[in-house]
Amino acid sequence: MQSRMLPSYYLSQDVFAREQRKIFRKLWLFAGLTSLVPDNNSFIVRKTAGIPVVIQNFHGQLKAFENVCLHRSAPLQQGFCGRRALVCPYHAWSYDVSGRAKNIPDCDAIYGFGEVEKQSLKLREFALKQVGSLLFINLADEPMPFEEQFQAEFVESLQSAAESFDSEVMVTTWHGRFNWKLVYENLRDFNHVKYLHGKSLASVASFPFLAEGSAEQALEPLMDISSAGLRKTMRPFSYGGPEGVIEAIRDVPWLQRVERWGSQDAYFNWLAYPNLHIASGNGGYSFTIEHHVPVAPDRTDVEIYFVTAKRKAPYAASYQVLLANMHYSKKILSEDIEMLERIQSVLHDDAPIPTQGAYESTNRKIERWYATLMETGHEL
Ligand code: FES
Ligand SMILES: [Fe+2]
Protein backbone atom coordinates (compact mmCIF):
# COMPACT_ATOMS: atom_id res chain seq x y z
CA MET A 1 0.00 0.00 0.00
CA GLN A 2 1.18 3.49 -0.76
CA SER A 3 1.36 6.13 1.90
CA ARG A 4 -0.78 9.23 1.52
CA MET A 5 2.08 11.46 2.55
CA LEU A 6 3.53 13.54 -0.27
CA PRO A 7 7.15 14.71 -0.08
CA SER A 8 5.91 18.31 0.03
CA TYR A 9 4.31 17.61 3.42
CA TYR A 10 7.83 17.27 4.82
CA LEU A 11 9.50 20.01 2.79
CA SER A 12 7.19 22.88 2.05
CA GLN A 13 7.16 26.09 4.03
CA ASP A 14 3.56 26.62 2.98
CA VAL A 15 2.47 23.23 4.34
CA PHE A 16 4.41 23.92 7.55
CA ALA A 17 2.60 27.25 8.00
CA ARG A 18 -0.76 25.53 7.42
CA GLU A 19 0.07 22.85 10.00
CA GLN A 20 0.94 25.53 12.52
CA ARG A 21 -2.40 27.22 11.94
CA LYS A 22 -4.66 24.18 11.54
CA ILE A 23 -3.04 21.78 13.99
CA PHE A 24 -0.67 23.42 16.47
CA ARG A 25 -2.73 26.54 17.11
CA LYS A 26 -5.84 24.42 17.61
CA LEU A 27 -4.79 21.40 19.68
CA TRP A 28 -3.79 20.98 23.30
CA LEU A 29 0.00 20.84 23.45
CA PHE A 30 2.47 19.88 26.14
CA ALA A 31 4.05 22.99 27.67
CA GLY A 32 6.16 21.86 30.62
CA LEU A 33 6.12 20.41 34.12
CA THR A 34 4.63 21.90 37.27
CA SER A 35 7.93 21.20 39.03
CA LEU A 36 9.48 23.99 36.91
CA VAL A 37 6.95 26.52 38.25
CA PRO A 38 6.71 25.46 41.90
CA ASP A 39 6.24 28.77 43.69
CA ASN A 40 5.25 32.40 43.44
CA ASN A 41 6.85 34.23 40.47
CA SER A 42 8.43 31.12 38.98
CA PHE A 43 7.88 30.89 35.23
CA ILE A 44 8.45 28.84 32.06
CA VAL A 45 9.09 30.46 28.66
CA ARG A 46 8.10 28.68 25.45
CA LYS A 47 7.62 29.30 21.77
CA THR A 48 4.62 27.28 20.68
CA ALA A 49 3.47 27.29 17.06
CA GLY A 50 5.52 30.45 16.62
CA ILE A 51 3.82 32.20 19.53
CA PRO A 52 5.92 33.27 22.53
CA VAL A 53 4.28 32.03 25.72
CA VAL A 54 5.02 32.52 29.40
CA ILE A 55 3.53 30.31 32.11
CA GLN A 56 3.75 32.20 35.36
CA ASN A 57 2.98 31.22 38.94
CA PHE A 58 0.97 33.90 40.82
CA HIS A 59 0.86 32.78 44.46
CA GLY A 60 0.16 29.20 43.45
CA GLN A 61 -2.10 30.00 40.51
CA LEU A 62 -0.64 29.10 37.10
CA LYS A 63 -1.47 31.30 34.12
CA ALA A 64 -0.37 31.25 30.48
CA PHE A 65 0.02 34.56 28.60
CA GLU A 66 1.58 35.76 25.38
CA ASN A 67 5.12 36.67 26.43
CA VAL A 68 5.03 40.08 24.76
CA CYS A 69 4.76 43.41 26.56
CA LEU A 70 1.84 45.60 25.49
CA HIS A 71 4.03 48.70 25.43
CA ARG A 72 6.89 48.18 22.97
CA SER A 73 6.61 44.39 22.46
CA ALA A 74 9.58 43.35 24.60
CA PRO A 75 9.50 39.76 25.86
CA LEU A 76 8.37 39.85 29.50
CA GLN A 77 10.41 36.84 30.64
CA GLN A 78 13.60 35.38 29.20
CA GLY A 79 15.36 32.02 29.25
CA PHE A 80 13.85 28.55 29.66
CA CYS A 81 12.53 28.93 33.19
CA GLY A 82 13.26 31.00 36.29
CA ARG A 83 11.84 33.03 39.14
CA ARG A 84 10.93 36.67 38.60
CA ALA A 85 7.77 38.79 38.84
CA LEU A 86 5.91 39.45 35.59
CA VAL A 87 7.52 42.83 34.96
CA CYS A 88 8.82 44.04 31.61
CA PRO A 89 12.57 44.69 31.74
CA TYR A 90 12.34 47.52 29.18
CA HIS A 91 10.20 50.24 30.90
CA ALA A 92 9.01 48.23 33.92
CA TRP A 93 5.32 47.75 33.19
CA SER A 94 4.08 44.99 35.49
CA TYR A 95 1.18 42.59 35.01
CA ASP A 96 -1.21 40.90 37.44
CA VAL A 97 -2.76 37.43 37.61
CA SER A 98 -5.43 38.36 35.06
CA GLY A 99 -2.80 39.73 32.64
CA ARG A 100 -3.78 43.36 33.20
CA ALA A 101 -1.13 46.08 33.32
CA LYS A 102 -0.92 46.48 37.10
CA ASN A 103 1.62 49.26 37.35
CA ILE A 104 2.97 51.61 34.68
CA PRO A 105 5.71 53.75 36.24
CA ASP A 106 5.05 57.50 35.75
CA CYS A 107 1.88 56.63 33.91
CA ASP A 108 0.08 59.94 34.38
CA ALA A 109 3.21 62.06 33.99
CA ILE A 110 4.56 60.70 30.70
CA TYR A 111 2.03 58.37 29.03
CA GLY A 112 -1.20 60.31 29.48
CA PHE A 113 -3.40 57.19 29.08
CA GLY A 114 -7.08 57.70 29.80
CA GLU A 115 -8.88 55.33 32.18
CA VAL A 116 -10.50 53.38 29.32
CA GLU A 117 -7.19 52.84 27.55
CA LYS A 118 -5.53 51.74 30.79
CA GLN A 119 -8.33 49.25 31.45
CA SER A 120 -7.95 47.75 27.99
CA LEU A 121 -4.31 46.82 28.56
CA LYS A 122 -4.53 43.07 29.06
CA LEU A 123 -2.17 40.34 27.86
CA ARG A 124 -3.54 37.64 25.59
CA GLU A 125 -4.27 34.64 27.80
CA PHE A 126 -4.17 30.97 26.78
CA ALA A 127 -6.05 28.02 28.22
CA LEU A 128 -3.97 25.87 30.55
CA LYS A 129 -4.64 22.34 31.74
CA GLN A 130 -2.80 20.32 34.36
CA VAL A 131 -2.62 16.51 34.20
CA GLY A 132 -0.63 15.30 37.20
CA SER A 133 2.56 17.29 36.86
CA LEU A 134 2.16 17.77 33.09
CA LEU A 135 1.06 21.16 31.76
CA PHE A 136 -0.80 21.55 28.48
CA ILE A 137 -1.76 24.78 26.73
CA ASN A 138 -4.13 25.60 23.93
CA LEU A 139 -3.55 28.66 21.76
CA ALA A 140 -7.02 28.80 20.16
CA ASP A 141 -9.42 31.65 20.90
CA GLU A 142 -12.06 29.04 21.64
CA PRO A 143 -10.13 25.94 22.75
CA MET A 144 -11.69 22.56 22.14
CA PRO A 145 -12.44 20.67 25.37
CA PHE A 146 -9.39 18.68 26.48
CA GLU A 147 -11.61 15.57 26.61
CA GLU A 148 -12.36 15.92 22.91
CA GLN A 149 -8.72 15.51 22.02
CA PHE A 150 -7.84 12.67 24.39
CA GLN A 151 -9.84 9.64 25.48
CA ALA A 152 -10.75 9.39 29.18
CA GLU A 153 -8.76 6.16 29.78
CA PHE A 154 -5.67 7.72 28.23
CA VAL A 155 -5.89 10.82 30.42
CA GLU A 156 -6.48 8.71 33.52
CA SER A 157 -3.44 6.55 32.84
CA LEU A 158 -1.26 9.56 32.00
CA GLN A 159 -2.44 11.41 35.09
CA SER A 160 -1.77 8.45 37.35
CA ALA A 161 1.81 8.15 36.06
CA ALA A 162 2.42 11.91 36.00
CA GLU A 163 1.30 12.26 39.62
CA SER A 164 4.20 10.04 40.61
CA PHE A 165 6.88 12.24 38.96
CA ASP A 166 9.52 13.61 41.29
CA SER A 167 10.12 17.38 41.43
CA GLU A 168 13.79 17.06 40.43
CA VAL A 169 14.04 17.22 36.65
CA MET A 170 16.83 17.33 34.09
CA VAL A 171 16.13 18.86 30.68
CA THR A 172 18.05 18.73 27.44
CA THR A 173 17.23 19.80 23.86
CA TRP A 174 18.36 18.28 20.56
CA HIS A 175 18.08 20.32 17.43
CA GLY A 176 17.02 17.72 14.89
CA ARG A 177 17.26 18.29 11.14
CA PHE A 178 14.05 16.55 10.13
CA ASN A 179 10.33 17.18 9.85
CA TRP A 180 8.31 16.70 13.07
CA LYS A 181 6.02 14.09 11.47
CA LEU A 182 8.92 11.69 10.95
CA VAL A 183 9.24 11.41 14.76
CA TYR A 184 5.70 10.39 15.54
CA GLU A 185 5.64 8.03 12.57
CA ASN A 186 8.80 6.44 13.97
CA LEU A 187 7.31 6.21 17.47
CA ARG A 188 4.26 4.38 16.18
CA ASP A 189 6.48 1.91 14.30
CA PHE A 190 7.52 -0.81 16.77
CA ASN A 191 9.03 -2.88 13.98
CA HIS A 192 12.18 -0.75 13.74
CA VAL A 193 13.26 -1.50 17.32
CA LYS A 194 14.86 -4.86 16.70
CA TYR A 195 16.84 -3.56 13.72
CA LEU A 196 17.72 0.06 14.36
CA HIS A 197 18.14 -0.47 18.11
CA GLY A 198 19.39 -4.04 17.79
CA LYS A 199 22.32 -3.49 20.11
CA SER A 200 20.67 -1.06 22.53
CA LEU A 201 16.96 -1.06 23.33
CA ALA A 202 16.22 -4.41 21.69
CA SER A 203 18.73 -6.15 23.93
CA VAL A 204 16.76 -5.25 27.08
CA ALA A 205 13.16 -5.02 25.86
CA SER A 206 11.03 -6.61 23.19
CA PHE A 207 7.94 -5.17 21.58
CA PRO A 208 5.41 -7.83 20.68
CA PHE A 209 3.23 -7.38 17.65
CA LEU A 210 0.12 -5.44 18.55
CA ALA A 211 -2.95 -6.01 16.40
CA GLU A 212 -4.18 -2.52 15.62
CA GLY A 213 -7.21 -3.12 13.48
CA SER A 214 -7.29 -3.57 9.77
CA ALA A 215 -5.26 -1.50 7.38
CA GLU A 216 -8.06 -1.65 4.80
CA GLN A 217 -10.23 0.36 7.15
CA ALA A 218 -7.80 3.21 6.75
CA LEU A 219 -8.02 2.99 2.96
CA GLU A 220 -11.55 4.34 2.80
CA PRO A 221 -11.85 8.11 2.76
CA LEU A 222 -12.93 9.79 5.98
CA MET A 223 -16.69 10.10 5.99
CA ASP A 224 -17.19 12.94 8.42
CA ILE A 225 -14.85 15.76 7.50
CA SER A 226 -16.55 18.41 9.60
CA SER A 227 -14.47 19.92 12.42
CA ALA A 228 -16.33 17.73 14.91
CA GLY A 229 -15.72 14.65 12.76
CA LEU A 230 -12.01 15.41 12.43
CA ARG A 231 -11.69 15.85 16.19
CA LYS A 232 -13.46 12.58 16.86
CA THR A 233 -11.27 10.74 14.37
CA MET A 234 -8.07 11.93 16.00
CA ARG A 235 -8.88 10.79 19.55
CA PRO A 236 -7.49 7.23 19.11
CA PHE A 237 -4.16 8.65 17.85
CA SER A 238 -3.20 9.11 21.51
CA TYR A 239 -2.86 6.01 23.64
CA GLY A 240 -0.64 4.55 26.30
CA GLY A 241 0.15 1.81 28.75
CA PRO A 242 2.41 -1.24 28.96
CA GLU A 243 3.69 -1.89 25.47
CA GLY A 244 6.81 -3.98 25.68
CA VAL A 245 8.26 -6.80 27.72
CA ILE A 246 11.41 -6.04 29.65
CA GLU A 247 14.08 -8.18 31.20
CA ALA A 248 14.01 -8.47 34.98
CA ILE A 249 14.63 -4.98 36.34
CA ARG A 250 18.25 -4.70 37.38
CA ASP A 251 18.37 -4.09 41.10
CA VAL A 252 20.35 -0.87 41.34
CA PRO A 253 20.39 0.90 44.73
CA TRP A 254 18.46 4.03 43.71
CA LEU A 255 15.33 1.99 42.97
CA GLN A 256 14.82 1.61 46.71
CA ARG A 257 14.92 5.35 47.14
CA VAL A 258 11.83 6.17 45.06
CA GLU A 259 8.12 5.36 45.32
CA ARG A 260 7.69 3.24 42.23
CA TRP A 261 4.64 4.01 40.08
CA GLY A 262 2.60 0.80 39.78
CA SER A 263 4.10 -2.66 40.00
CA GLN A 264 4.08 -4.01 36.47
CA ASP A 265 7.46 -5.01 35.01
CA ALA A 266 6.88 -3.60 31.54
CA TYR A 267 8.02 -0.98 29.07
CA PHE A 268 5.43 1.81 29.29
CA ASN A 269 4.74 4.20 26.45
CA TRP A 270 2.29 7.07 26.23
CA LEU A 271 1.90 8.73 22.85
CA ALA A 272 -0.07 11.97 22.83
CA TYR A 273 -0.71 13.23 19.32
CA PRO A 274 0.75 15.42 17.91
CA ASN A 275 4.06 15.79 19.68
CA LEU A 276 4.44 14.23 23.13
CA HIS A 277 5.94 10.88 24.05
CA ILE A 278 6.44 9.63 27.58
CA ALA A 279 8.25 6.38 28.27
CA SER A 280 9.17 4.37 31.31
CA GLY A 281 11.59 1.62 30.35
CA ASN A 282 11.81 0.17 33.84
CA GLY A 283 8.22 -0.36 34.94
CA GLY A 284 7.57 2.99 36.62
CA TYR A 285 10.84 3.82 38.41
CA SER A 286 11.80 6.61 36.03
CA PHE A 287 10.32 8.43 33.07
CA THR A 288 11.49 10.18 29.92
CA ILE A 289 9.25 12.92 28.61
CA GLU A 290 9.99 13.68 25.00
CA HIS A 291 8.49 16.73 23.37
CA HIS A 292 8.87 17.44 19.64
CA VAL A 293 8.69 21.11 18.72
CA PRO A 294 8.40 21.90 14.99
CA VAL A 295 10.69 24.81 14.16
CA ALA A 296 10.76 24.69 10.34
CA PRO A 297 9.80 22.09 7.69
CA ASP A 298 13.18 20.40 8.17
CA ARG A 299 13.89 21.38 11.79
CA THR A 300 12.45 19.88 14.97
CA ASP A 301 13.60 20.54 18.51
CA VAL A 302 13.46 17.42 20.64
CA GLU A 303 13.18 18.50 24.28
CA ILE A 304 13.68 15.72 26.77
CA TYR A 305 12.82 15.84 30.46
CA PHE A 306 14.17 13.16 32.77
CA VAL A 307 12.47 12.39 36.08
CA THR A 308 12.35 9.48 38.49
CA ALA A 309 9.30 8.48 40.48
CA LYS A 310 8.98 10.54 43.69
CA ARG A 311 11.97 10.26 45.98
CA LYS A 312 11.14 8.87 49.43
CA ALA A 313 13.62 11.44 50.76
CA PRO A 314 16.25 13.60 49.08
CA TYR A 315 19.50 11.65 48.49
CA ALA A 316 22.89 12.83 47.29
CA ALA A 317 23.18 10.79 44.08
CA SER A 318 19.76 11.63 42.59
CA TYR A 319 21.36 14.01 40.12
CA GLN A 320 23.68 11.23 38.91
CA VAL A 321 20.70 8.94 38.43
CA LEU A 322 19.08 11.49 36.11
CA LEU A 323 22.36 12.01 34.31
CA ALA A 324 22.81 8.27 33.79
CA ASN A 325 19.24 8.04 32.43
CA MET A 326 20.02 10.90 30.10
CA HIS A 327 23.13 9.20 28.73
CA TYR A 328 21.27 5.96 28.20
CA SER A 329 18.35 7.67 26.39
CA LYS A 330 20.77 9.68 24.31
CA LYS A 331 22.22 6.48 22.93
CA ILE A 332 18.86 5.12 21.79
CA LEU A 333 17.50 8.44 20.67
CA SER A 334 20.58 9.24 18.63
CA GLU A 335 19.94 6.06 16.65
CA ASP A 336 16.43 7.33 15.86
CA ILE A 337 17.48 10.91 15.21
CA GLU A 338 20.29 9.90 12.88
CA MET A 339 17.91 7.77 10.84
CA LEU A 340 15.26 10.52 10.65
CA GLU A 341 17.90 13.03 9.54
CA ARG A 342 19.05 10.64 6.85
CA ILE A 343 15.46 10.17 5.64
CA GLN A 344 14.92 13.93 5.55
CA SER A 345 18.20 14.41 3.67
CA VAL A 346 17.08 12.34 0.67
CA LEU A 347 13.60 13.86 0.40
CA HIS A 348 12.83 15.95 -2.66
CA ASP A 349 9.67 17.03 -4.45
CA ASP A 350 9.67 14.00 -6.70
CA ALA A 351 10.80 11.41 -4.12
CA PRO A 352 9.14 7.97 -4.12
CA ILE A 353 6.00 7.70 -1.96
CA PRO A 354 6.57 5.29 0.97
CA THR A 355 5.10 1.77 0.87
CA GLN A 356 3.32 0.58 3.99
CA GLY A 357 2.32 -2.78 5.41
CA ALA A 358 -0.59 -3.87 7.57
CA TYR A 359 1.33 -3.32 10.79
CA GLU A 360 1.49 0.40 10.00
CA SER A 361 -2.26 0.88 10.25
CA THR A 362 -2.08 3.47 13.05
CA ASN A 363 0.18 5.64 10.95
CA ARG A 364 -2.11 5.11 7.98
CA LYS A 365 -5.08 6.35 9.97
CA ILE A 366 -3.19 9.41 11.08
CA GLU A 367 -2.14 10.06 7.48
CA ARG A 368 -5.70 9.78 6.25
CA TRP A 369 -6.80 12.28 8.89
CA TYR A 370 -3.84 14.57 8.24
CA ALA A 371 -4.26 14.59 4.45
CA THR A 372 -8.00 15.24 4.83
CA LEU A 373 -7.45 18.10 7.25
CA MET A 374 -4.66 19.67 5.22
CA GLU A 375 -6.48 19.48 1.92
CA THR A 376 -9.89 20.67 3.12
CA GLY A 377 -10.82 24.17 4.11
CA HIS A 378 -11.71 22.86 7.59
CA GLU A 379 -10.06 23.85 10.81
CA LEU A 380 -10.06 21.56 13.80
S1 FES B 1 8.29 47.43 26.26
FE2 FES B 1 7.58 46.67 28.11
S3 FES B 1 7.48 48.36 29.37
FE4 FES B 1 8.13 49.19 27.52
FE1 LIG C 1 13.38 4.16 17.94
Which atom of ligand 1 is nearest the CA belonging to 74?
1
Query: Does residue 213 carry a pLDDT above 60?
Result: no
- Ligand 1: which residue has its CA nearest to atom 4? 91
Query: Does residue 204 carry a pLDDT above 90?
Result: no
- Ligand 1: which residue has its CA nearest to atom 1? 72
Phi, psi of 368 (to 5 degrees): -60, -45
169 vs 306: CA distance, rounded Å: 6
Ligand 1 center from residue 76 Cα (angstroms): 8
Cα distances (angstroms) measured from residue 263 to each of 146, 249, 267, 379: 29, 11, 12, 42
| The overall pTM is greater than 0.85 | yes
User: For residue 179, what pLDDT band results from cuts at 50, 70 and 90?
Assistant: very high
Of all residues in the chain, the percent with pLDDT exceeding 90 is 85
Which residues have C-beta atoms less than 6 Å from ligand 1? 69, 71-72, 74, 88, 90-93
Q: What is the pLDDT of residue 188?
A: 92
Which atom of ligand 1 is nearest the CA belonging to 69?
2
Ligand 2 center from residue 58 Cα (angstroms): 40
Every domain of the chain with CATH number 2.102.10.10 lies at 28-143
Ligand 2 center from residue 194 Cα (angstroms): 9
User: For residue 215, what pLDDT band results from cuts at 50, 70 and 90?
Assistant: low
**CATH number of this structure's domain 28-143, picked from the four choices 1.20.140.10, 1.25.40.10, 2.102.10.10, 2.40.10.10:** 2.102.10.10
Instruction: Tell me what the pLDDT averaged over the chain comes to.
Output: 93
Q: Using alpha carbons, select from 136, 120, 114, 132 the residue that is nearest to residue 48.
A: 136
- For residue 334, give the ligand nearest its CA: 2
Every domain of the chain with CATH number 3.90.380.10 lies at 1-26+150-380
Query: Does residue 333 carry a pLDDT above 60?
Result: yes
Q: Which helix (H) or strand (E) holds 321?
A: helix 318-345
What architecture is domain 1-26+150-380? Answer: Alpha-Beta Complex (3.90)
Which atom of ligand 1 is nearest the CA belonging to 104?
3
